[in-house]
Amino acid sequence: MTELLQDIGLSHGLAVFIAKAVGVMVVGAFGLLWTLLGIWIERKAAGRFQDRLGPNRVGPFGLIQSIADTVKILLKEDLMPQGADRWVFNLAPIVSVVSVMLIWAVVPFSGSWIGSDLNIGVLYLVAVGAFGTVAVLMAGWSSNNKYALLSAFRSVAQLVSYEVPMVLALLVPVLLSGSMSTQTIVEQQHIMYLLAVPLTVLIFLTSGQAETGRGPFDLLEAESEIVSGFHIEYSGMKFGMFYVAEFLHAFTIGVLTAILFMGGWRGPFAEDVPLLGFIYLMIKSMVAYMVLIWVRMTLPRLRIDQLLDFNWKFLVPLSLVNLLVVAFVWKILPDTDQINSFGDALVPTLVLLVVNIALIAGVGAILRERGRRERQRVEARLTAAESAAAGD
């Protein structure tokens, strides 16, 4: 495309600029249009999980339900709370969506299709996530509603906490591939990292679920109990943008899982046919995303103390130990810095898998012991309460 623009007489700099701008628009439009279909898939799947049909009235199988919803949400009255901070209030939903869309810039759709192959790709992922946190605070503060503000603080506490295990999990594929570039990480996965470090994938998915604020970590915006949290004052399309950001973020966690742990666009003939690589990536992303929906629809909500306990007393120590163990094993294995084929990757993958299974077994034993003690404590308390009641 750059050559074409130069042929019609534009300077090199301008041609590159226009080509990049078009690329940004294509990726952005794809992400937002995908949301329409993705929300339908999610609602359909969620319906099945809860033994109902999901959307089925508008169009075949309810396919154009999302479009109908979009029209409805666009036509709704745009409310502005009294005393709201106008600028910040309007800016917050945009920042929220943008922070998610920015992630797509480093998603390698296939061998040659990537927005920008940054050599700091993974650090970039963490960096743009920071804007999402800022958007939550902006929305909470500017709404001029004390409940929105309280909820924003609690949301930010959750986001900042769960960022720690997430970053520690992101470090593992960086360590295994020796690069922070998302494209290099995909190319280095001659065997999916999912098979080498399953524990890291679990940590990543768990913290990713918490980062997107979805069940079982959705207690701060529980729509059935406290009518959503920091975006309680938003209506119409501004609320829609928060909704889109949340959905897209959750799906992006699926995409990132596919890229970092499931080999991204790799698959049979993907190197010759870029479109095939793109299809592989979307299939893998959907698989990872379905796991997230499955967890979301199956588990009950946590309490706030359970949420923070689970992070700081379980997930953070676990991901620290996991990172140290993987780094140690990777260091003592021979020739791990030059893995260029399936054969090279086989032995290290097997060793890491064995170590991971041992780790998971150890963690399982510790959890069982904890659960046993907790049950005993509750039982002792119950018997104490019963005998006190009998004594009255």
47 touches 54 (CB < 8 A) = yes
Minimum Å gap between C-beta 271 and another protein is: 24
Using CA atoms of 294, 300, 303, 307 in order, give the dihedral in degrees to the nearest 10.
Answer: -20
Minimum Å gap between C-beta 128 and another protein is: 8
Please give the backbone phi and psi of residue 76, each rounded to the nearest 5 degrees, phi first.
-65, 155
Which CB atom, from 180 or from 244, has the smaller least distance to another protein? 180
Residue type, 352: L
Provide the terminal-to-terminal Cα distance of the chain, rounded to the nearest Å: 85
Residue type, 385: A
Minimum Å gap between C-beta 217 and another protein is: 19
Which CB atom, from 32 or from 160, has the smaller least distance to another protein? 160
Please give the backbone phi and psi of residue 160, each rounded to the nearest 5 degrees, phi first.
-65, -40
Residue recorded with tokens 């301008």: 14
236 touches 73 (CB < 8 A) = yes
385 burial type by CB count under 10 A (0-12 exposed, 13-18 middle, 19+ buried):
exposed
Which CB atom, from 76 or from 377, has the smaller least distance to another protein? 377
- Alpha carbons 73 and 76: distance in angstroms, whole number: 5
Give residues in contact with another protein (CB under 8 A): 13-14, 16-17, 85, 88, 118-120, 123-124, 126-131, 133-134, 137-138, 141, 149, 153, 156, 160, 163, 180, 309, 381
272: which strand partners? Answer: none
Minimum Å gap between C-beta 129 and another protein is: 7
- Please state, as a whole number, how many other Cβ atoms lie within 10 Å of the Cβ of residue 85: 15
Minimum Å gap between C-beta 107 and another protein is: 17
Minimum Å gap between C-beta 133 and another protein is: 6
Give the residue from 283, 94, 67, 322 showing the smallest Cα distance to 204. Answer: 322
Which CB atom, from 48 or from 381, has the smaller least distance to another protein? 381
